[in-house]
Structure 1
Amino acid sequence: MPPKKKVERKEEQVFVEENGSYVHQREMARYTGGVRRLTDSNFCCRHGQGTYSSPLIHYEGNWSEDEMHGNGTLRFLVSGDSYTGQFVHGVMEGCGTYIWASGAMYDGGWRGNRMHGLGTYTDVGGKVWSGKFYNGSGPGLTPCVTTGGGVAAADKRDVLKDEKEG
């Protein structure tokens, strides 16, 4: 009978969940909130609910493994723009509202930091554009027409489809 192989079991890494306040001197940034620390090293990352502020941005929301992940609000301090919504691995992804400093606004789907999916864009003059956005633009969108206090669908493909069926 061959000898039994010795099975080495690696110990699982143990993380400790903590809360605290940290300052990054070089980036002149501050983080306050949840962190995850590996017990046998100095590795530490933002994790859980927290607030990060630097000269360029301010983010308040959920973190996972040092990335904005979940719901949060990101303000761009230089431009004055802001985004409130969902993040996936540090990227605007899912549903959210982006407000430009100029007053323009987009509310709807996001993918890869770009307007993507169903959404509504309101320009500075108050004109509303609604429909399907793709990779940051709205091909085929037409201005919405206010009907009875509501906003009608405005995707040209939907309008043409309705005209053919009706």
Structure 2
Amino acid sequence: MMSDDEEQPLNVDGDLLKVSIIFPNGDKYEGESSRSSSGALVRSGTGKHTSSNGLVYIGEWCEDKMQGRGTLRHPSGARYEGEFRDNMFHGSGTYVFPDTSVYRGQFHKNRLEGDGTFTDAQGLVWTGEFHDTEALGLKLQHSV
């Protein structure tokens, strides 16, 4: 949560404030915020959060949590685009690994969970049902 002395309101649009904030740890947030029931300023609406270690999230927020659609980019080059719930990958999304392999499918609490497609760094495409680190019964798609 952000304290009132950290906020720099630029303008008010309905109940949302447009803010630009630099946190004590060096993180930055630019986007929409609102007041919680206790009166504290929280990230809500859309915005961009850049951590001091290079992690960048651009997307929807609800009560200071990544919630809704967004993109999270890691300094390693890994990237997730899709749905978030309570700061976690949750719902449908795409995760691009640093080696350029890609998983497209369902996520549940940051884990690959359900139907999906994995394309490895060599371009081979595997489809099936994923369960965190297991994916039994995957099928390799052949290109003709």
TM-score normalised to structure 2 length: 0.83
**Residue 35 (structure 2) aligns with:** 37
2:74 to 63, 73, 76: 76
Q: Distance in 2 between matches of 1:70 and 1:141?
A: 29
Name the Cα RMSD after superposition.
Answer: 1.8
Unaligned 5+ runs, structure 1 = 1-15, 148-166
What letter matches 1:105 in structure 2?
Answer: V
Structure with more strand by fraction: 2
Q: Distance in 2 between matches of 1:33 and 1:138?
A: 38
- Greater RCO, CA 8 A, separation 6+: 2
How far apart are 1:146 and its partner, in Å?
2.8
Q: Distance in 2 between matches of 1:129 and 1:40?
A: 49
Structure 1 residue 98 corresponds to structure 2 residue 77: no
Q: Distance in 1 between matches of 2:82 and 2:107?
A: 9
How has the CA–CA distance of structure 1 residues 142 and 30 changed in structure 2, closer, same or farther, with 3 Å as cutoff?
same
Structure 1 residue 123 corresponds to structure 2 residue 125: no
**Residue 8 (structure 2) aligns with:** none
How far apart are 1:66 and its partner, in Å?
0.4
The percentage of counterpart residues that share the same residue type is 34
Of the two, which has the highest radius of gyration? 1
**Residue 159 (structure 1) aligns with:** none
Q: Distance in 1 between matches of 2:36 and 2:131?
A: 41
- The superposition leaves residues 66-91 of structure 1 with CA deviations (integer Å, 9 ceiling, x where unpaired) of 000000000011x2100000001111
What letter matches 1:25 in structure 2?
Answer: P
- The superposition leaves residues 3-54 of structure 1 with CA deviations (integer Å, 9 ceiling, x where unpaired) of xxxxxxxxxxxxx42111000022x11000111124874x111000000001
Q: Distance in 1 between matches of 2:143 and 2:38?
A: 61
Unaligned 5+ runs, structure 2 = 1-14
**Residue 58 (structure 2) aligns with:** 60
